[in-house]
Structure 1
Amino acid sequence: MSQQESPTDEGLNETEQTDKEYVFGTWSFQNEVSPTQVTDADGVRFADADGNEYIDFSSQLMCSNLGHSAEKVEDAVAEQVREAGYVAPNYTTEARAKLGEELAAVTPGDLSKTFFSTSGTEAVEAAIKIARFYTGKQKIISRYRSYHGATYGSISVTGDPRRLEAEPGIPGTIKAPDPYAYGSTLDPMESLEYIDEMLELEGDTVAAVLVEPIVGSNGILVPPDEYLPRLKEIAHDHGALLICDEVMAGFGRTGEWFGCDVFDVEPDIITMAKGLTGAYQPLGATIVTSEIADHFDENMLCHGHTYAGHPVAVAAGLATIETYREENLIERASDVGEYLGEQIDELAAKHPSVGDTRGVGLFRGIELTKHPEKRVPFGEREDKVSQGTTVVDEVSSTAADHGAYVANMINTLIVAPPLTITEDEIDEAIEAVDAGLEVSDAAMET
């Protein structure tokens, strides 16, 4: 652990105070930003400058799938930096070529050719452009409870309230209802028929339907088994592509390589990032079917980045894929995920403020309620773009005080630990969440 630094009058040490002064905090009112200095991370745990240690029960931002001790990835990064820290995209490296081949192997069906970028939002930007280039159409249908990224195209297809300050966004983006059984006016399968009607009424102008197979930061929403297969049929019936945003659900999080694998669906395009390198390097990817890839043999792919296929990032990605395989982490996530689900259900039975639990594998959500018999959320959508803290924030903070970091989004605790977590570590983190839920229990309406 690093030596602790003296706190300032604001309760921040020197590093934290300097960061607050000179670096923008993300998605924040800057006067509320209070950065915490991380000084060490190992396995599924990390520590701060005050010596507090936490189980990383949300894999930071649902991205540290391998935890914080992936030696094979660390070694691959160091070796590639020594060999060539950067080459332009018109050159290649062995790692870039092999990673493209590996992604064709682990993605479902005929997905075969990849564009590499540096983040999930860039992966979505590429998908939007490719869909428009390929179909000759402009419109993209996405859903209201979604997050697809922060750049202008990606925030425009995002549904959650973080898009509002960026509007008007790019033209041609349309929002649809979600498969959200808890608190929606439409049954999940009814929402599909709504999308079918949207496509009909838009005429032959929709390039693609873009969805997270399992919604991530807007509540861990798991659709019925028949939802995604039927959505693909509907999209294709209207001449639209199906794009699956796997940035959060991909790479073992669900106990399968990708969220769409849970439903045995092959999308036309998949976007990915986060677990692609276990967050050891910033890397995004957009993979398409061979039919779409062939289109660009005689039609220009009018898209690129300076860092497309960055050699250090793709080296990390290749080592990450190898680690998933060698340590059998995809299958392990399914087994350990079942145990996690059981522990969350037991926890929910103890706490009346838990209104709903959802999830697959190591991708779980705990949604809170003020009322034991009704959906009365502590956190509302507008809280995402408002000042102040909510009861849900206080639940997460209390869990952290007891040794587990658990992210929360609007009204849901997001439990998405590294795929390497053990049952004993799950038990330890569940105890901390148990303490946190006492806060929401005490805040319920009487």
Structure 2
Amino acid sequence: MASQQSDRNEIERLDREYTLGTWTRQRDFDPTEIVDTEGPRIVTANGDSILDFSSQYVCTSLGYDAERVVDAIAEQASNVPYVAPGWSTEPRARLSKKLAEITPGSLKKTFYSTSGTEANEAAFKIARAYTGKYKILSRYRSYHGATAASLSASGDPRRVAQGPEIQPEVPGMVKGPDPYAYGSSLDPDQSLEYIEEMLQLEGDTVAAVLVEPLVGSNGVLTPPDDYLVRLQEIAHDHGALLICDEVMTGFGRTGEWFASELYDAEPDIITMAKGLTGSYQPLAATTVSEEIAEFFEDNLLNQGHTFAGHPTACAAGVAAIETYEQEGLVENAREIGEYLTSELDALAERHPSVGERRGVGLHQGLELTRSEMERVPFEERSDKVSGRTTVLDEVSAHALDNDVYFYTSVNTIVVTPPLTISETEVDEAVAALEEALEVSDAAMDA
């Protein structure tokens, strides 16, 4: 630790001393200072220019040069930087209308907050009020946020690690299986049948079924084409809503505005954040169908935040959507996503430690394996919170030594670059990954 302290610059030392790091034991918190950004790259204090193939937390979808968004923030901050949510502002009105236009189906009205966690919390309360029921059925391989209800709805290992002595789970959260043939005893059809039986056995108590259309930090799990529509039919047959958590997959990441559209689903509620502003401002949204919105004309929407519909954040949201549209970034994600898919498939063929490539567009993942025959994971789910250095950590560290940043989660290398990415930058990232995967190949069981 002494040598680490001596290697830190003043900002890193202050940050380490006075900031509580997220999702970590503080002895492992040792952040590197970022001093600049350029295109899809971040620049460290010691001058390293790193190609960001994670979009940080799958959120800097516009890269780091979205001038339209920067200008909109500056203009709004100099005009009306903030008013309480009871007042109207042009950015919020324009953003709400735009979200009604680009979201699928009959989604119409939006409630604003500041994070995906809060967007999901709002969705739970809306679904419960609308249906008069209280249970939320989610899935075991999922992540929906860090606050009490959203973490209780998550199947992520971080929920288990929290422990009831620190944060008891919120009542009413039940979990079903995922469409994950690689790591489950059920095939996708059976997982749907299991969820249908759960809804039957829970009685008329489930307000909503909550899913990520493509699971994010729990392995980039990609469902069969008919899965989401069938799930929605099952939910509606039992008087439950379908909530699609598109915090990661919204705003073009899969080559469509929302991943729900890939599967022809029209959710009753969509939650979003991250790409909504490209993370230039913290902003999240919970958008509901016209029917649900009509319910609250005469019923209390018992939900609010000081920063709900923050005008500067909403100005960033409007400008971000205009950037996606005018620069053709959704189409770019589709086209470059096809190229990335083919390159990752070829990479998987060359490296026996890659058990499976999954994903769509620029939402991709490589799951690694110790055994080519038996698909034994290097990393257990509990390792996400164990603090143990895993083979996947070593793989990502090797790529970072070659100035490409990937993050890993639950035995999966997550590949989620900004939507501005080019084929040349894909080639650069794949070359770094090619070399890094030699580490996992060498670690396979004999």
TM tier relative to shorter chain: over 0.9
How many Å separate the matches in 2 of 1:373 and 1:70?
46
Match of 2:317 in 1: 317
Shift of 1:10: 4.4
Shift of 1:92: 1.7
1:140 aligns with 2:106: no
Could you list the per-position Cα deviations for residues 57-93 of structure 1 after superposition, in whole angstroms to 9, with x for gaps in the alignment? 0111100110000000000000010001111000121
Match of 2:379 in 1: 379
TM-score, L = length of structure 2: 0.97
Match of 1:4 in 2: none
Match of 1:131 in 2: 127
Gaps of at least 5 residues in structure 1 are 1-6
Match of 1:294 in 2: 294
Match of 1:3 in 2: none
Match of 2:180 in 1: 180
1:79 aligns with 2:49: no
How many Å separate the matches in 2 of 1:383 and 1:260?
31
Match of 1:111 in 2: 107
How many Å separate the matches in 2 of 1:240 and 1:369?
38
How many Å separate the matches in 2 of 1:9 and 1:383?
26
Match of 1:260 in 2: 260
For residues 110 and 166 of structure 1, do their structure 2 counterparts lie closer, same or farther at Cα, with a shift above 3 Å needed?
A: farther
Match of 1:214 in 2: 214
How many Å separate the matches in 1 of 2:275 and 2:93?
19
How many Å separate the matches in 1 of 2:16 and 2:37?
22
Aligned residue type for 1:118: T
**Contact residue 8 and residue 17 of structure 1 kept, 8 A:** no
How many Å separate the matches in 2 of 1:434 and 1:239?
49
Shift of 1:51: 1.1
**Secondary structure in 1 matching 2:7:** coil
Match of 1:225 in 2: 225
How many Å separate the matches in 1 of 2:47 and 2:192?
50
**Contact residue 58 and residue 414 of structure 1 kept, 8 A:** yes
Could you list the per-position Cα deviations for residues 32-66 of structure 1 after superposition, in whole angstroms to 9, with x for gaps in the alignment? 11101111111111111111111110111100110
1:363 aligns with 2:359: no
**Secondary structure in 2 matching 1:126:** helix
**Contact residue 5 and residue 13 of structure 2 kept, 8 A:** no
For residues 426 and 123 of structure 1, do their structure 2 counterparts lie closer, same or farther at Cα, with a shift above 3 Å needed?
A: same
How many Å separate the matches in 1 of 2:207 and 2:6?
51
For residues 404 and 290 of structure 1, do their structure 2 counterparts lie closer, same or farther at Cα, with a shift above 3 Å needed?
A: same
- The match for 1:69 among 65, 69, 78 is 65
Match of 1:270 in 2: 270
**Contact residue 253 and residue 333 of structure 2 kept, 8 A:** yes
Aligned residue type for 2:58: M
Could you list the per-position Cα deviations for residues 271-319 of structure 1 after superposition, in whole angstroms to 9, with x for gaps in the alignment? 0000000010000000000100010111000000000000111000000
**Contact residue 57 and residue 404 of structure 1 kept, 8 A:** yes
How many Å separate the matches in 1 of 2:262 and 2:374?
30
How many Å separate the matches in 2 of 1:126 and 1:199?
22
How many Å separate the matches in 2 of 1:92 and 1:128?
25
Could you list the per-position Cα deviations for residues 251-281 of structure 1 after superposition, in whole angstroms to 9, with x for gaps in the alignment? 0000000010100100000000000000100
Match of 1:17 in 2: 13
How many Å separate the matches in 2 of 1:9 and 1:153?
38
Aligned residue type for 1:424: T
Could you list the per-position Cα deviations for residues 221-267 of structure 1 after superposition, in whole angstroms to 9, with x for gaps in the alignment? 01000100000000000000000000001100000000101001000
Match of 2:203 in 1: 203
Shift of 1:8: 6.3
User: Which shifted more, 419-428 or 44-53?
Assistant: 44-53
**Contact residue 8 and residue 14 of structure 1 kept, 8 A:** no
How many Å separate the matches in 2 of 1:12 and 1:207?
50
How many Å separate the matches in 1 of 2:192 and 2:116?
26
How many Å separate the matches in 2 of 1:191 and 1:250?
24
**Secondary structure in 2 matching 1:315:** helix
RMSD: 0.9
Aligned residue type for 1:134: Y
How many Å separate the matches in 2 of 1:166 and 1:321?
40
Q: How does 1:236-247 map to 2 (within 5 A)?
A: 236-247=236-247
Match of 1:98 in 2: 94
**Secondary structure in 2 matching 1:105:** helix
Could you list the per-position Cα deviations for residues 330-370 of structure 1 after superposition, in whole angstroms to 9, with x for gaps in the alignment? 11110110000011011111111101100100110000001
User: Which shifted more, 380-389 or 354-363?
Assistant: 380-389
Aligned residue type for 2:312: V
Could you list the per-position Cα deviations for residues 87-144 of structure 1 after superposition, in whole angstroms to 9, with x for gaps in the alignment? 1000121010000000000001100000010000000000000000100000000000
How many Å separate the matches in 1 of 2:5 and 2:274?
36
**Contact residue 53 and residue 416 of structure 2 kept, 8 A:** yes
Could you list the per-position Cα deviations for residues 378-427 of structure 1 after superposition, in whole angstroms to 9, with x for gaps in the alignment? 11110011122111011011001011100111200110100110000110
1:159 aligns with 2:144: no
**Contact residue 402 and residue 435 of structure 1 kept, 8 A:** no
**Contact residue 155 and residue 166 of structure 1 kept, 8 A:** no
Shift of 1:328: 1.1
How many Å separate the matches in 2 of 1:162 and 1:439?
27
Aligned residue type for 2:324: Y
How many Å separate the matches in 2 of 1:68 and 1:233?
40
How many Å separate the matches in 1 of 2:313 and 2:410?
32
How many Å separate the matches in 1 of 2:383 and 2:393?
11
Aligned residue type for 2:284: G
Identity of aligned residues (%): 62
Match of 1:394 in 2: 394
How many Å separate the matches in 1 of 2:69 and 2:38?
14
How many Å separate the matches in 1 of 2:320 and 2:91?
12
Q: How does 1:346-357 map to 2 (within 5 A)?
A: 346-357=346-357
Shift of 1:11: 2.5
How many Å separate the matches in 1 of 2:153 and 2:380?
20
How many Å separate the matches in 2 of 1:166 and 1:195?
26
